Amino acid sequence: MTKKILVTEDLVQEGIDALRERGYEVDVLIDPSAEQLVAAIEPYEALIVHPNTRVTPALLDAAKNLKIIGRAGVTVDNIDIDAASERGIIVCNAPTSNVISAAEHTMALLLSAARHIPAASASMHRGEWNRGQFMGTELYGKTLAIFGLGRVGGLVAERAAAFGMNLIGHDPYCSPERALHLGVTLYDEVEPVLAMADFITVHLPRTVDTLGMFGADEFAAMKDGVVVVNAARGGIFDVKALADFVAAGKINAVALDSFEVEPCTDSPLHEFENAILTPHLSPMTFEAQRRASTQIADYVSAGLEGAMVATAVNLSPLPPEVLDSVGPYVPACKMLGHMVSQILDGTPKTLKVELAGSIRDADPAPLVAAVLDGGLSYRRIGSFTAANAESIAARHGIAVTTSAVHDAQEYASAVRIVADDVEVAATLYGTDHAPRIVSLMGYKIDIAPAKCSLVFEYVDAPGRIGVIGTILGEAGVNITTMQIGTKAGEGCALVYINVEGDVDDAVLERLRGAIDLRNLWKIVL
């Protein structure tokens, strides 16, 4: 039976033609209401959506045959990814389709703000000739601060360098090697960057950490007469605070292409002639739209055929031979990556993934991708997959190696990862392949991790467990399971405790003060 694809995005025709040439039946339903989409979705195995199309649990409940959802662009905020994952539906995007267009639009905004081009053009259209009113500034020799040195930020750096700008930046996930290659002087803190910059541009995802990242304090710390640009994601600038500093003359000009709520037809910045506002034009070029259309056609087709989807943001189907061998370990490895990132409280420089026992001869690439995804997925749009893990790891300055060993000790198979000096290993048990931690920091344990866990490492002595239990009990924290691990030849112990609910910082400080600890980690999975 012919597989059916529903498209709610006004795709460039090349993408639709590519799908039809592969034998798919493609129907186009532009800008449907939620009710129309729920009524129509059942027979379709794939859905390609417009950013205004909301993919909700109710829609997914009606999508009885849906296998993959594609977004012909970068953002997937309109898709309930958790709900799709629960139903085994892949969500993918086309994250590289518009990077050149976004970088070029950023440069257009920088130049327009520096030379007052929109205001000068409007003046000319009014029949005026006011050259002196629009005295501008050159980019040459000025300092450009770039916040976010991913794909688009890197392209902006290359283009700004051609204008002779001095480049500085802040990106905690950019490796020093990448910054050096781009010619950007990297700073660990935001404040010194703000004070030095003549121009500021942001290329960050919208996350809990970046939403409202630039507010009144940050604007006050900027150089007088600075120009600020955002062609990335709305909400990174506090627009109300920004408008106050534009009105006061502290900020010479602002150029925004993205807004927290879109469409945006009114804002505190609309009244200012030196505020350049464009309706999210960064991806709006013929070339970018063509790339987005053809790329998403390729990815959706791959998903329907059971191949690896390079840009899957949640699930990525593995070939049958790989699925049989390592597929069950993918969720466990993602969990290990998430755990290690919390213990390290940062990005590792080195990562080793070791396959042991019956999986030792399997392709390690999906498991490496899963480990990286668990540790780094919150830092970016999209997901690590076997196809892109190596390149993204390199961009984050992570050197990845893999190995295989015959002996999994008393287990049939296991995966062990070492990130810098943090070691953790897991095996699977039961028909549902639930993960169990079998080693942590070299201590042998055997425990199924809960959503919230506490891990203690201390010099072993009588009464330690009693003290821990008393403090947690007084705080109303219930211990569900616990494992104690030891190392041969050492007088230390590691205690892994699963608890119900959360443990606040005050309780953690009490625990640190009550026991002579080497380490205490709270792990939330």
Q: Which residues are catalytic?
A: 233, 262, 280
DSSP for 52-67 reads: TS-B-HHHHHH-TT--
> Is the CB of residue 339 less than 8 Å from the CB of residue 347?
no
> Cα dihedral angle (179, 181, 184, 186), rounded to 10 degrees?
20
Q: Distance between CA atoms of 60 and 62, rounded to whole angstroms?
A: 5
Residue 135, token pair as written in the block: 């005295």
Instruction: Give the 3-state secondary structure of residue 462.
Output: coil
Residue 102, CB half-sphere, CA atoms under 13 Å: how many? 25
CA distances (Å), origin 402, targets 175, 352, 368:
21, 5, 8
CA-to-CA dists, residue 346 to 359, 367, 375, angstroms: 29, 20, 9
CA distances from 63 to 47, 358, 442 (A): 10, 38, 47
From the centroid of its chain, how far is CA 412?
Answer: 34
Contact 76, 83 (CB under 8 A): no
Beta strands 90-93; 251-256: pairing state: unpaired
- Residue 414: which residues within 8 A CB-CB, separation 6 or more? 356, 357, 408, 425, 426, 427, 438
Token output for 442: 């070299």
**How far is Cα 202 from Cα 123, in angstroms, rounded to an integer?**
29
Query: Edge-to-edge, what's the strand order for the sheet holding 68-71?
Result: 25-28, 4-7, 46-49, 68-71, 90-93
CA separation for the pair 292, 236 (Å, rounded): 25
Among candidate residues 90, 84, 86, 54, the one with its CA nearest the CA of residue 70? 90
Q: Return the C-alpha torsion angle 47, 380, 310, 86, nearest 10.
A: -50
Structure tokens at 230: 């955002």
3-state secondary structure of 180: helix
CB 70 within 8 A of CB 296: yes
Helix axes 505-514 and 464-474, enclosed angle (nearest 10): 150
Q: At what angle do helices 365-376 and 329-344 cross, to 10 degrees?
A: 40
